[in-house]
Chain A
Amino acid sequence: MNRIDPLAGLRVAVTGGTSGLGLALVQALAARGARVAFIARDAARVRRVAADLPTTHGIVGDVSRQDEIHPIALQVTAALGGLDVLVNNASSLGPVPLALLADTECEDLQAALATNVLGPFRLGKALLGALAASARDGRTTLALNISSDAAVTPYAGWGAYGASKAALHHLSRIWDAELREHGVRVLSVDPGDMDTPLHALAVPDADPAALQRPADAARLIVALIASTVSIREFA
């Protein structure tokens, strides 16, 4: 390849970055030379991943909590000197084990909405200034929201998760239409079923061998990021 890798030096933040798809994304992005900040709730796990990947920046925080959003956003832009790509990957399943919607406690639905909708919305707003600043410098910048096929297909038992991911998917489409003129794209992607802690909570008896490995899904998402940021759109 004689072109410069669009990922080299790219400033990327990944929520839920210490396990599953998020961790695979952090590893893949760091390996391609991106500058990565990742966010997760558990301080010990954050320390461990940051120690394993010394070029990355670990941030302890919970995106479902309103008062943690700005401290997270501040640490992201301070660590990276700005931001080109935000990956909202942290997800909540809602009730564990999965429950029919009529058996779902309101609190479990609220928890799913807080992590899967309000968190990406709030963090997206708090970091939009940084994404737009990077876009004014001539890049296409990106907020990438990790969705699910449960956002479009009504699977019984996946009510809280599916409804919250549907909201995130539609929020992404509207935001994309609004922000395109500012050089910021907002996309939602379905990585497919993967062998992750979240999937194990949802379907404990699934055969891991039949599931996609997170690293394989991460490779596709990294390719999507690379192709999006390397296109300069003129609104």
Chain B
Amino acid sequence: MKAAALPIQRPRDARLLVVDADGELRHAERSQLARHLRPGDLLVANDAATLPASLAGVHAPTGSAIEVRLAGRRSLAVDAVHDFSAVVFGPGDHRTRTEDRALPPPLRPGDRLQLGPLAASVVRTLDHPRLVDLRFEGTPDAIWAGIARHGRPVQYAHLAQPLALWDVWTRVAALPVAFEPPSAGFMLDWQLLHALRERAIGFATLTHAAGLSSTGDAALDARLPFDEPYHLPEATVQAIADTQRSGGRIVALGTTVARALEHAAAQGRPLQAGMGLATQRLGPSSRLRVVDVLLSGTHEPGSSHHALLQAFVDDALLRRTDAALEAGGYRTHEFGDSVLIEASREPGRRAERRAQLSPRQASRTIVRSGSTPGWAGLLRPA
């Protein structure tokens, strides 16, 4: 697939490949999305706004120019803004492909970093030369002001123009907690939300701190996605329950929504409203407990996002899907075209919704699971 090189969230000719539960494929116009959902379905989106997570500055001990990309945070709490995990690059900017970016100078605990108006120090180094925990100095308001005014959105080398913050906020962007945009949500606009209402299709949101999509390092990328905190509102839990009771489908807009919902329902427990930390990775052996349909951007084979699709369809259908995207000239990456994939009808794909699960089934749900919140998730082997 070719990369979508213009930062236009809703190109008029955006396309949608629909893959139904029987494995039938059809090409559609994305602007007609509401027609490809059914009355009674519920579309769940990630309403996270995107942080300007790229902070240019100086590594004080060496005077070397660095770029810090904020990558993780323990919680979404308003005041939890001092501590971040971050990926650090040496001199250079986004015009160099992430993969080719220089390493930062050797980083040690206590090293001070001056990032525009923001002062930070390295709390600890993790087991990779790019990956650190850092702590900002100052009041929460001062730190937010520094990030808001000095930070830039993480840039992509395949886009000709630098992205501004408005390029990466979706129409429903609310709390600024995502490190890269929840880009499946770029397709949303208020006209679509109106069309959904007209067709009696529900709309709900959760807030998920979507993490970096690429760190420029194969060893780090193999661990993606990092642990990601999320918040599931009570109203969304209620809407999901109502939809399931009346036989509608739960449609996750984007991989971050699928990850959060399936995490919140892991181990067969009922969905609970509140904060969570998504630690699992969805893949071929995942059983879907909540999400019936995934609506997302197109992803290239080999990425963690692409692996997530295997939770919905088997290898053969996924290969057919990839071939159809390729042959149809679909565009990939953040500003590209989209796929609507319903989980296959084949047995074992979706967890029984109402029946109690056996312990054996429950243990198969999660490929990689963690129970300890915090940075530990970053360090676990994939």
CB distance from A191 to the nearest CB of B (A): 28
Q: Are A129 and B193 in contact (CB under 8 A)?
A: no
CA distance A130 to B148 in the complex (A): 17
Closest to A69 in B: B166
CB distance from A82 to the nearest CB of B (A): 6
Q: Is A77's beta carbon under 8 Å from chain B?
A: yes
Partner of B141, one of A58, A67, A136, A138: A58
Give the residues in chain A near B81, CB-CB below 8 Å. 78
Known: A59-B145, A182-B193. A129 touches B165 (CB 8 A): no
CA distance A109 to B204 in the complex (A): 41
Q: Are A181 and B47 in contact (CB under 8 A)?
A: no
Give the residues in chain A near B164, CB-CB below 8 Å. 67, 70
Q: Are A136 and B235 in contact (CB under 8 A)?
A: yes
Q: Is B175's beta carbon under 8 Å from chain A?
A: yes
Binary per-residue interface labels of chain B (49-64) against chain A in the complex, 1 for a CB within 8 Å, 0 otherwise:
1011000000000000
Known: A129-B49, A133-B174, A181-B197. A75 touches B169 (CB 8 A): no
Binary per-residue interface labels of chain A (51-70) against chain B in the complex, 1 for a CB within 8 Å, 0 otherwise:
00000011110000001011
Partner of B235, one of A80, A137, A179: A137
Known: A74-B51, A181-B197, A182-B193. A60 touches B235 (CB 8 A): no
Q: Are B51 and A181 in contact (CB under 8 A)?
A: no
Q: Are A70 and B171 in contact (CB under 8 A)?
A: no
Q: Are B234 and A137 in contact (CB under 8 A)?
A: yes
Known: A74-B144, A79-B144. A136 touches B234 (CB 8 A): no
CA distance A68 to B174 in the complex (A): 17
Q: Are B175 and A181 in contact (CB under 8 A)?
A: no
Q: Is A178's beta carbon under 8 Å from chain B?
A: yes
Residues of chain A from 190 to 220 with CB closer than 8 A to chain B in the complex? none
Partner of B174, one of A57, A69, A130, A182: A130
Residues of chain B from 5 to 41 with CB closer than 8 A to chain A in the complex? none
Q: Is B373's beta carbon under 8 Å from chain A?
A: no
Partner of B140, one of A50, A79, A82, A136: A79
Residues of chain A from 120 to 150 with CB closer than 8 A to chain B in the complex? 126, 128-130, 132-133, 136-138
CA distance A58 to B139 in the complex (A): 12
Q: Are A57 and B169 in contact (CB under 8 A)?
A: no
Give the residues in chain B near A126, CB-CB below 8 Å. 166, 169
Q: Are A136 and B169 in contact (CB under 8 A)?
A: no
Q: Is A71's beta carbon under 8 Å from chain B?
A: yes
CA distance A130 to B175 in the complex (A): 7
Q: Is A97's beta carbon under 8 Å from chain B?
A: no
CA distance A130 to B169 in the complex (A): 12
Q: Are B47 and A74 in contact (CB under 8 A)?
A: no
Q: Are A71 and B141 in contact (CB under 8 A)?
A: no
Give the residues in chain B near A179, CB-CB below 8 Å. 190
Q: Are A78 and B78 in contact (CB under 8 A)?
A: yes
Q: Are A78 and B144 in contact (CB under 8 A)?
A: yes
Known: A74-B148, A178-B190, A181-B197. A129 touches B174 (CB 8 A): yes
Partner of A129, one of B145, B170, B236: B170
CA distance A132 to B203 in the complex (A): 11
Binary per-residue interface labels of chain B (339-368) against chain A in the complex, 1 for a CB within 8 Å, 0 otherwise:
000000000000000000000000000000
Q: Is B194's beta carbon under 8 Å from chain A?
A: yes
CB distance from A19 to the nearest CB of B (A): 20
CA distance A70 to B170 in the complex (A): 12
Q: Are A129 and B190 in contact (CB under 8 A)?
A: no
Known: A129-B47, A130-B174, A130-B175. A71 touches B148 (CB 8 A): yes
Q: Are A132 and B144 in contact (CB under 8 A)?
A: no
Known: A137-B233, A182-B193. A70 touches B140 (CB 8 A): no
Q: Are A77 and B235 in contact (CB under 8 A)?
A: no
CA distance A69 to B207 in the complex (A): 22
Give the residues in chain B near A69, CB-CB below 8 Å. 166
Q: Is B172's beta carbon under 8 Å from chain A?
A: yes
Q: Are A129 and B171 in contact (CB under 8 A)?
A: yes
CA distance A181 to B148 in the complex (A): 31
Give the residues in chain B near A83, CB-CB below 8 Å. 174
CA distance A73 to B11 in the complex (A): 25
CA distance A57 to B176 in the complex (A): 16
Question: B residues bordering A, Cβ < 8 Å?
Answer: 47, 49, 51-52, 77-78, 81, 140-141, 144-145, 147-149, 164-166, 169-176, 190, 193-194, 197, 204-205, 207, 233-236
Q: What are the 4 A-B residue pairs with the smallest beta carbon separation, nearest first? A: A71-B148, A70-B165, A130-B174, A133-B174
Q: List 8 A-B contacts (CB under 8 A).
A: A67-B164, A70-B166, A71-B149, A74-B51, A74-B147, A78-B175, A132-B172, A182-B190
List 4 extra interface pairs beyond A78-B81, A78-B148, CB under 8 A.
A69-B166, A70-B148, A74-B147, A138-B235
